[in-house]
Structures are given as C-alpha cells and as structure tokens.
Amino acid sequence: MRSYLLLIGITFMTSYLLTPVLRVVGVRFMPKAPVRDRDFHEKPTPKLGGVAIIGGLYLGILVASQIPFFSGIFRSTESIQGVLIALGIILVMGVFDDLLDLRWWIKLLGQVAVGLVIVKHGILLKALPVGSLQIESPTVQVVVTVLIIVGTMNAINFVDGLDGLAAGISAIGAATFFVYSYLLATRVSAEDNANFSALLCAVLLGATLGFLPHNFQPASIFMGETGVLAIGMLFAVATLAVTGDVLGEDAFRFRNVPAFMPVILPVAVIVLPYVDLLLSVIRRTANRRSPFSADRGHIHHRLVDLGHSPRAVVIILYLWASLVASGVVVISLTNRKIAIPLYVAAFVCVTLVTWWPLLKRARGKAPAPGAN
C-alpha cells in the first residue's frame, strides 16, 4: 500500500503544481473561448488543465516503473506502452481541439484511433469473469473493446459541465476502483499485491485530486478535451484489466474470483456519466440532432433548474457518485447485515437532499426558480 500512496502523492503534486503553469500558458497563448448560454462560468477560462493531468499520469507511471513492488506489472511493458501512446494521442488531439475547436467527427475518429492503439498493445476484452462467458470472435473482441473505450471517454466528457464536476466524480470513481482492485489482489495472492488496474487508478486518483483545487468553483482553469478523454481512457483500460483476459499469463489471478463480480464495479463507479450519456443520445436523436451536439439538458443542468446552486449540484452529484460507487464494494466486502441498512439510510438522505427544493416548493416555502 505504501508504494501506491507514494504514487498518489507524486501524481497529486505534479498535477497540482503544473496546473497554474498551464493556466498562465492558456491565458497568454490560447484563443479565448466565448461563454455560451449553457455555460455556468461568467468569463472565458483556459482549458489546458488536462495537460497537467496527463503530466501527472506520465510521471506517476515512470516512477512506478522504477519501484520493485510493481516489477511484475512492468515485466511485460506492452500494455503500459499502449496506455502511454494513447495518452500522447489524446494530448495532441486535445490541444488541437482547444486551438481549433475540432468537428465532432474528427474527435470521434481520434477516439477510435485511441481505442485501436489500446487493442494493438494487447488490452483486449476476450471474456467476462462471470461464469464461462467467452467472446470467441477476434473481430467482436476488437469492436467491443473499442466501443467500451470510446463510450467511456464520451461519458466523462458529457458530465464535464460544472466547475469541479468531472474531476471530482473521476477522483471518487478512481478511489473506489483502486480500493476494490487492491483488496481483490490481496485476496487472490498474499505475495504480490500489485496489479495493473490498481496502478492506473492510483495515478488517476492523484492527478485528478491535484487538479481539483484549481477547478472547483469558481474554476480558474478547465481540463478541456485533453483531460476528459485521458480520464475516460484510463477508466476503460482499468475496467478491461479487471473484467477481461487482458494481462496474458497473469490474468488467471483475477479470473479465479467470479464471486466478486468485478464486471459490476467499473460500471458503478461512473454510472452517472453513463446515464447522462445515454439520456443525451436519446434526447438529441429524438430531436433529430447529432448525438455529439451540445445542449442544456444534462443532469447537472436539470438540477440547477430544479433550484440548486451550481456548487450545490456538484456536491450532490459527488454524493450520488460516492453512494453508487461504494455500494458494490461495501456490500461485497463488508458485513451485509450492517452495511445494507446503512446504505439504505444514506440513499434516503441523498435523495432528500437532491429533491429538497421541490419539497420546499410543495410545502409553499420557496418560489419556483425564475418566479417573481
């Protein structure tokens, strides 16, 4: 655990210290994006924060490669190389998007390229650790893997609408996924507690936490396309590393524990972005618009319209992300007779907080938003 904590600390400090530097660069050299009607910030804000996040990720992985505790992960560097190359593609594409505001189809092609790079370097979903469900067709394996990667990147992108929202939810998901992956490794092997997913989640946790103080409302910098795609890609790869046969000879260690249902947690940790993505696609398609076009119909927009302040909405979505993400871990790894009643109580409390403005209006104690 100390090695993981070291990585979290290093990536935190790197991201935290790099972010102000990138903010200065963004203000001086990047074009100022106009404030749109659906935005909540009041003045143009630089979007290079994702570069600082990727800087923290690169340094964290480099340091990990020199720590003996992680030697088993770096025995074969193919998967790590795929992640590093994918981060490089995201870095270039994200900066170009901040400069030129790339068309949605160009960004989609870039995301597919990222997925294919990951596949090319051996990170491939061949089976699910539930019973004996296998994916026999190599073509289907590639298609499903790329879809998971592209879908997760866009899910994180769609939730990036309020100051600190995407970074905070990603940190919560990374922390939960890290704890789960680490505990899973300790239960499978008493000798080797290092695993690929836990490593990725550790560096992601540090990088997002380091960026968050600069991004929480009022944000002085945004992560931009670079940050959300990097976060989504790492979540997807960590998911594949736990749920699929992606680590060659080492994979058997994780496939011997179907009772833990590791296929559930990766979806749970970012369920809010996935739900928002699904609803956005349905809404835009029904209105005969591109699924990648922007609008003001996301979950966070609706909560603001309900009567919450933008900062309150961020905190409420943090609570929901924590509740959903922790549920699988708590119920799987703790005493259910204690955990389930506590979880139900927490669920009721968060629900009441979410709908509080509506409940107050129903009792005649608060006017509807926008009322005179």
- pLDDT (tens digit per residue) in 29-55: 876 666 555 455 457 788 889 999 999
Give the residue-averaged pLDDT of 325-333: 68
Highest mean pLDDT among 7-21, 100-114, 175-189, 226-240: 7-21
Burial 63-86 (b: 16+ CB within 10 A, else e): bbeebebbebbbeeeebbebbbeb
Q: Which residues contact 92 (CB under 8 A, 6 or more apart)?
A: none
- pLDDT (tens digit per residue) in 69-99: 999 889 888 999 999 999 999 999 999 988 8
Q: How confident is the model at residue 355 (pLDDT cuts 50, 70, 90)?
A: confident
Q: How confident is the model at residue 372 (pLDDT cuts 50, 70, 90)?
A: very low
The structure tokens listed for 53 are: 């996040």
Range in 145-159, 246-260, 311-325 the model is least confident about: 246-260
> Tell me, what's the pLDDT at 344?
87
> Tell me, what's the pLDDT at 255?
44
> Tell me, what's the pLDDT at 239?
82
159 close to 165: Cβ distance less than 8 angstroms: yes
- Which residue, among 233, 214, 277, 223, has the nearest Cα to 98 in the 3D structure? 223
> Tell me, what's the pLDDT at 260?
41
> Tell me, what's the pLDDT at 79?
92
> Tell me, what's the pLDDT at 33?
60
At residue 129, does pLDDT exceed 60? Answer: no
At residue 24, does pLDDT exceed 90? Answer: yes
